[in-house]
């Protein structure tokens, strides 16, 4: 009985591991050729920049809007400057301000403005500035 148990364990072990083999050659995968990538360097010293290259994402623009030119009599005049997609760039009081500078993304080629006063009898003016 004991011998039968050992025989069953031995047979299961040989079946589980694939047996002793029948002498057939095992299949080997074909050799894979690996080609090295092209010599590309990401070091700044290996990639010089041309003299005319610009890395500026923003450009400074000087804008002059005179409230007097629009006929405002109030001492408080407010200015809102925004882009076509309604991103507000400036909102504030400009009664004494003659010119100011805005740093705009280089992709922006025009801005829009609204001039308004808290006095209800004065009109609101909307305009466009091409940069």
Q: What is the pLDDT of residues 41-84, one digit of tens each?
A: 888 888 888 888 777 788 888 888 877 788 877 778 888 999 99
- CA–CA gap between residue 114 and residue 81 (Å, rounded): 7
Query: Which pLDDT does position 126 carry in this prediction?
Result: 92
Q: Is residue 116 part of a domain?
A: yes
Regarding predicted confidence, which is higher, 75 or 14? 75
Based on C-alpha coordinates, what's the Rg of the chain?
40
Output DSSP code: residue 122: S
Residue 98 maps to a domain = yes
Between 38 and 125, residue with greater pLDDT: 125
Residue 117, domain extent: 58-130
Cα–Cα distance measured from residue 62 to residue 102, given in angstroms and rounded to the nearest whole number: 6
Q: Is residue 45 part of a domain?
A: no
pLDDT score, position 112: 94
Q: What gap in Å lies between CA 111 and CA 114, rounded to an integer?
A: 10
Would the pLDDT of 14 be above 90?
Answer: no
- What share of the chain in percent tops pLDDT 70? 85
Please report whether residue 28 resides in a domain.
no
User: Quick check: 102 pLDDT over 80?
Assistant: yes
Query: 11-25, 29-43, 84-98: which has the minimum mean pLDDT?
Result: 11-25
Q: Count CA atoms closer than 13 A to 50's CA, side-chain side.
A: 3
Looking at the domain assignment, is residue 33 inside a domain? no
Q: How many domains does one find in the chain?
A: 1
Tell which residue, 53, 57, 62, has the closest CA to residue 107.
Answer: 57
Looking at the domain assignment, is residue 1 inside a domain? Answer: no
pLDDT confidence band for 39 (50 / 70 / 90)? confident
d(CA 96, CA 72): 12
In a domain, 37, yes or no: no
What is the residue-averaged pLDDT of the chain? 80
Q: Within a domain: residue 19?
A: no
């Amino acid at each position: 009985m004991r011998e039968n148990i050992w025989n069953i364990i031995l047979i299961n072990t040989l079946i589980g591991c694939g047996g002793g083999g029948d002498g057939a050659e095992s299949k080997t995968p074909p050799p894979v050729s690996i080609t090295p990538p092209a010599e590309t360097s990401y070091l700044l010293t290996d990639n010089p920049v041309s003299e005319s290259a610009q890395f500026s994402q923003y450009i400074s623009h000087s804008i002059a809007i005179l409230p007097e030119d629009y006929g405002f009599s109030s001492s408080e005049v407010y200015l809102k400057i925004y882009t076509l997609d309604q991103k507000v760039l400036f909102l504030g009081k400009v009664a004494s301000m003659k010119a100011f500078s805005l740093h705009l993304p280089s992709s922006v080629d025009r801005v829009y403005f609204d001039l308004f006063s808290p006095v209800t009898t004065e009109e609101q003016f909307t305009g466009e500035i091409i940069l």
